[in-house]
């Protein structure tokens, strides 16, 4: 139905790097998001899925650029930081519309528990993103604290991505009826 494309898209958004090489490139994740949102928009005529689909196109282009920028010199760190911040904000936009699109569909079908679950996942996703952003801001001021926080936030990020994958998988089954 489209949610499974989003499931696999979230897998590719998990940032796994080996020697600076992104093993699961985000661009593939955003292509899967685009394909999933096209199917969902066609089936449900949801404005949330329409907006997420449109932003996915932009994220495909920007994530291709990030593959090149990730190999730039250390002197360009300020530009890279701003670029990554912009990517994060746009990713939040997509996840917001995904969660609220699922919530709307669940609400229309009287699935209030699932409706609340979708909104709760959005809240957790943005909370982890905000914590990562704050950590990046304080990194130069408290490097030892950031090392500890990095481990905690790495685990939290992995957990929230898995929870988003589970939400999309559940949406595929619950909303397919």
For the segment 8-47, what is each residue's pLDDT rounded down to a tens digit? 999 999 987 777 677 889 999 999 999 999 999 999 999 9
Give the residue extent of every domain in the chain.
3-174
Predicted pLDDT at 177: 64
| Helix or strand (DSSP H, E) at 18 | strand 17-18
- CA-based nearest residue to 132, from 119, 151, 116, 113: 151
Cα angle for residues 53, 54, 55 (degrees, 5° grid): 95
In angstroms, the CA 130 to CA 74 distance is 24
d(CA 74, CA 93): 29
- Within the chain, which residues score under 70 in pLDDT? 20, 70-74, 177
Q: What are phi and psi of 113, to 5 degrees?
A: -65, -45
- Report the Cα 125 to chain-centroid distance in Å: 8
Rounded to 10°, the helix 47-69/77-108 angle is 160
Using an 8 Å Cβ cutoff, are 126 and 92 in contact? yes
Query: In the predicted model, what is the mean pLDDT of the chain?
Result: 92
Answer whether 0.85 is exceeded by the pTM. Answer: yes
How many Å apart are CA 169 and CA 103, to the nearest integer? 14
Neighbours of 118 (CB within 10 A): 23
Q: What is the dihedral sign for C-alpha 162, 164, 165, 170?
A: positive
């Amino acid at each position: 139905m489209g949610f499974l494309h989003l499931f696999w898209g979230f897998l590719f958004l998990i940032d796994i790097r080996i020697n600076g090489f992104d093993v699961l490139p985000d661009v593939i994740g955003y292509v899967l998001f685009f394909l999933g949102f096209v199917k969902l928009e066609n089936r449900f005529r949801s404005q949330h899925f329409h907006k997420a689909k449109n932003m996915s196109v932009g994220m495909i282009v920007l994530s291709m650029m990030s593959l090149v920028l990730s190999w730039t010199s250390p002197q360009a760190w300020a530009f890279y930081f701003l670029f990554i911040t912009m990517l994060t904000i746009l990713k939040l936009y997509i996840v917001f519309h995904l969660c609220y699109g699922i919530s709307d569909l669940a609400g229309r079908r009287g699935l209030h528990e699932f409706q609340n679950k979708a909104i709760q996942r959005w809240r957790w996703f943005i909370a982890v993103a905000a914590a990562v952003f704050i950590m990046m801001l304080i990194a130069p001021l408290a490097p030892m604290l950031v090392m500890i926080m990095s481990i905690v936030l790495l685990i939290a990020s992995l957990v929230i991505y898995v929870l988003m994958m589970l939400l999309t998988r559940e949406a595929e089954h619950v909303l397919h009826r």
